[in-house]
Structure 1
């Protein structure tokens, strides 16, 4: 069973999206302080991001359980950067539900996103990395998912070499995971630091705490070096695998 890999890359996605804006700053996600929404949310970076998430999640005709979990966490974290976070999250959810029903405006949304990040190529590259993570999260990268992420990357003016490099990295990672020995149940409980008699609610609480503790995007925001960020990402992959194994064992 595929584990919930790279979860941390989307819990606080907005850390990728926050630097060096000179115009229309109110249209950008701004972590670290609550912002008040000005204008329509669909035209804000948050709305555009969620719209592109919806296109990729539904590209193969279905939204898997893992994709749904990742999307839910992302909606919550983005909404928490706004005042009236609960209301904003509902609006973001509505955007997601609406945009997953059509692909006709995909390139238009991507081009609108470019206008908000014209001088920040790494920001757009980070968005593509996130979208690829979403596409790969269930362990499969379908032809439809490749087509739509490639189209979005082109519309975001991400060069093909960078796109292919990211795809190859995800493919190599999943290939390696498939050849590794499966984690034992005892190791999974030990890794999460809970006993086998713990309730699933206790396991889930501990899991979420560990995800926050080893969040590479948070470390990135704190100025941590790449080696530390890479170690945190690897650790979270193990945590996610352990959680999925325990979840299956408990029949939830």
Structure 2
């Protein structure tokens, strides 16, 4: 807990200005403590744009991602075991070093604080990325994944996600579209596992047909298109998403190399959804 600045500010404020001075000193001390906490979590006051080199910018991108993730996790009041587990799994998937894990954990804790300056951090992310749509979208999708850690999005989490989307330059409609796609991806991933398990048995009938139909419907939602879409529309949506999520292209635009595996998994999910639609509908 950072209270050293508040204590000193209040003391000297009262010493030189009485009760009003103490209040002003408390305010200044609070600002000092907040800046100190952010600095220890790995953020710079100038944002990523003030980082000395690309490696520092990428490290700040990582720290910001985990800090905002912590803020999303805290949105509904209590951070769940699934959300903590997701942050841990993400660290493992990114193969973070011990020091990077410590920084990510500290950033996650910082994000949970009640006075976390969300808009300031998002502004830094936006400036540092040069406004690159793909990077900002990747950042937003990480936060949506955090919200879906327990399988659903709480209304308070949705509200925070709207603030995050706005801070990154996305509209409410764009966020809602991404939420629908992420929810479908969550079901598609788990449904695919269950369907694979069922394929080893002889069970058939209405339930299996309904399950297959639901799985196909989710595949369309993963691509962000209607089930009535023709082959041309499906292919165009698939190519757009693959272009936006291509790991090499994201890396070239400044994505931290530690996030490469996450980008690969996203592109693989898009590919799997497209392959299923092609197979069922006979697209070429």
| TM-score range normalised by the length of the shorter chain | 0.5 to 0.7
Counterpart-to-counterpart distance in 2, 1:176 and 1:67: 20
Counterpart-to-counterpart distance in 2, 1:155 and 1:136: 20
| Aligned twin of 1:221 | 247
Counterpart check, 1:61 vs 2:77: yes
Counterpart-to-counterpart distance in 1, 2:160 and 2:69: 11
Counterpart-to-counterpart distance in 2, 1:87 and 1:177: 32
Counterpart-to-counterpart distance in 2, 1:177 and 1:229: 8
Q: Alpha-carbon deviations, 1:165-207, whole Å to 9, x = none? A: 10222345567899x79949x938x79xxxxxxxxxxxxxxxx
**Which gives a bigger RCO, structure 1 or 2 (Cα 8 Å, sep 6+)?**
1
1:45-60 aligned within 5 A: 45-60=61-76
Give the superposition deviation at 1:77.
4.5
Counterpart-to-counterpart distance in 1, 2:90 and 2:188: 27
| Aligned twin of 1:105 | 117
Can you give the 5+ residue segments of structure 1 that lack an aligned partner in the other structure? 1-22, 30-40, 192-215, 236-252
| Aligned twin of 1:230 | 270
Residues 72 and 143 in structure 2, CA contact (< 8 A), matched pair in contact too: yes
Residues 76 and 89 in structure 1, CA contact (< 8 A), matched pair in contact too: no
| Aligned twin of 1:26 | 55
Larger Rg: 2
Summarize the Cα distance change of 1:131–1:123 in structure 2 as closer, same or farther, 3 Å threshold. same
| Aligned twin of 1:93 | 105
Summarize the Cα distance change of 1:227–1:181 in structure 2 as closer, same or farther, 3 Å threshold. closer
Summarize the Cα distance change of 1:94–1:176 in structure 2 as closer, same or farther, 3 Å threshold. closer
Counterpart-to-counterpart distance in 1, 2:66 and 2:128: 15
| Aligned twin of 1:73 | 89
| Aligned twin of 2:168 | 156
- In terms of fraction of residues, the more helix-rich structure is 2
CA RMSD of aligned residues (A): 3.9
What is the DSSP-based 3-state SS (H/G/I as helix, E as strand, rest coil) of the residue aligned with 1:28?
helix
Summarize the Cα distance change of 1:73–1:173 in structure 2 as closer, same or farther, 3 Å threshold. closer
How many matched pairs?
A: 167
TM-score (norm 2): 0.48
